[in-house]
Structure formats: C-alpha cells, structure tokens
Amino acid sequence: MAITVENVIVELRRSLPSFVIDPEWEAEVLPYPVFNDFARFICSEAEVLQYAVSEEERSSLSKVPDCMVFLENALADGDSAVRDLVRECVESMSECPWQEQIKAYAGPLLAAQWRNRL
C-alpha cells in the first residue's frame, strides 16, 4: 500500500503504537508537527542504546530499530510529500546527540538521505 500524506499518520500509529500522537494533530491531519515530534521521540529512544550490550537488549529497550524500519518504508512506499516529511525528520534527528546510534539502524534509503543532507 502506498503511503500518502493523507494516511501517513494512520500508518505511523499502526506501525509504532508506543509513539503517542497529539490527538489534535491527528484529527486535523497535520503530519509536519507529528514528524517533528517523531524525530524527538526517536532521539529520546536512542539515548538508551549507548548502554545496551547486545542487539537483543537494544531491541527490547528502544524503539529506534522499529522507527527506522517505518521511515525506510515511508521512503520506499511514500509519495513525494511523505518523502519530504522523512527528510525533515532526518534533518531534526541530525541534531540529536545520539545520532550515531540512530544511523546504525538506517536502511539504505534512509542512510542516503542522511548523507545527502550534508
């Protein structure tokens, strides 16, 4: 199924139920503030990765791997507006002190976005 700007919030909620979306933003279909908040969520989830000693522990303590899968799928299956949202999310995540831990989970499309922002 193609991810569009009209259904991206629904897809995000379905993929990552632990990410709390502001109900007003969801009701008004405001994906830009949702994705800015999502970038902050990913950054906060990445902090614990520096203390985990195994991949199993990383996966159980943090949602970063799942978040990166969602963003990779959004780049692969999203329309141009969704790809713009992901680019903005990458831009916001690049300010995160734990961005190296986040990048470790980036798929090829997401990694390319990260490189291209330089």
Q: Tell me the CA distances in angstroms from 46 to 5, 39, 50, 57, 98, one per residue in order.
A: 26, 11, 8, 13, 6
- Asked if the structure places residue 68 within a domain, the reply is yes
- Asked if the structure places residue 3 within a domain, the reply is no
Indicate the number of domains in the chain: 1
pLDDT at 95 over 60: yes
Confidence (pLDDT) at 69: 96
- Asked if the structure places residue 14 within a domain, the reply is yes
- Asked if the structure places residue 50 within a domain, the reply is yes
Q: What average pLDDT is seen over the chain?
A: 91
The mean pLDDT of 89-112, rounded to a whole number, is 93
Nearest CA to 16 among 68, 91, 51? Answer: 68
- Asked if the structure places residue 1 within a domain, the reply is no
33-66 pLDDT per residue, tens: 999 999 999 999 998 887 777 778 777 788 999 9
Distance CA 72, CA 61 (A): 21
